[in-house]
Amino acid sequence: MRKLLVILVMCIGIFTVDAQILRTEELEKYAKEYYGSNWTDAAENLSKQLTLDKNYALTYAEVIDCKGQTKDQLYTKLNYWFASTFNDANSTIQLNDKESGTLIGVGFVEAIASHTGGFNQYVVHIRPVIKVDIKDAKIRVTYSVQYYYVSKVVGGGWISGVEKEDQMYTEEKWPLNSCWPFVAKDTHHAKKTSAKSLVMTHAYSNVIMDKIKEAALNGVVGNENDDW
């Protein structure tokens, strides 16, 4: 059963955080266009501009100008976006406080990267925490990832020589500060996997920021107004 689950994860290749946001292959194409097709070089270049916060998480924050809209109007639009996006067992809304103007969702982005090394095989997922603070005429979006969640097949690599029945299937949680390029030597001996995971995580942050900005400025479906 574990083998079947790993195979399904690799084949599905769809984000659980609202499958319509972006498919894995679409995100990979986007990442390659912006950062290059060599994941190791791309991750190294990104590391020159990215730092981990005090909790060793990769965190992005952006203030978006929404002139002409009240706090209540923005809350209605963004509450709709959160409800539409975080709508299953893996991706949930953790806080919905209209009075303070705060929305927090925890998503699950499946199979953001996969790699078959010499000895092991890896499929990486992330659980981004997405927070929106709402005021009159502006919002602040914060996107944070602290861990890579890794489905690992020990002995599943292309030169491992381990028979399938002897392979081990484990679920691991890798802190970003233990992964290359945030450490000189990748603790998990999976530099290529860590490299692609960083680039894809960064690319997904851009997509999320754009989606929330679009929802705040123009609504989720484009007809969220009082003219009806």
DSSP state for residue 2 in the 8-state scheme:
H
Mean of the per-residue pLDDT values of the chain? 88
Asked whether residue 2 carries a pLDDT value surpassing 90, the answer given is no
Which pLDDT belongs to residue 15?
A: 47
Work out the average pLDDT over 66-95: 93
* pLDDT over 90 percentage in the chain: 71
The tokens of 108 are what? Answer: 């699950």
The 10s digit of each residue's pLDDT in 8-39 is 343 434 444 543 466 788 889 999 999 999 99
CA angle 64, 70, 72 (to 5 degrees): 105
The set of residues, in sequence order, having a beta carbon less than 8 Å from that of 80 and lying 6+ positions away, is 215, 219, 220, 224
User: What's the pLDDT at 12?
Assistant: 39
Question: Given this model, what pLDDT does residue 54 score?
Answer: 96
**Interval 155-188: pLDDT, tens:** 988 888 888 888 999 999 999 999 999 999 999 9
- Tell me the C-alpha distance between 21 and 85, whole Å: 8
Cβ contacts of 138-141, under 8 Å, gap ≥ 24: 138/63, 138/64, 138/65, 138/66, 139/63, 139/64, 139/66, 139/74, 139/78, 139/212, 139/216, 140/61, 140/62, 140/63, 140/64, 141/61, 141/62, 141/64, 141/208, 141/209, 141/212, 141/213
Kindly report the pTM of this predicted structure: 0.85
At residue 93, does pLDDT exceed 70?
yes
pLDDT tens figures, 185-223:
999 989 999 999 999 999 999 999 999 999 999 998 766
Give me the amino acid identity at 167.
Q
CA 189 to CA 179: how far, in whole Å?
9
| Full set of structural domains in the chain with CATH | 2-218 (3.30.530.80)
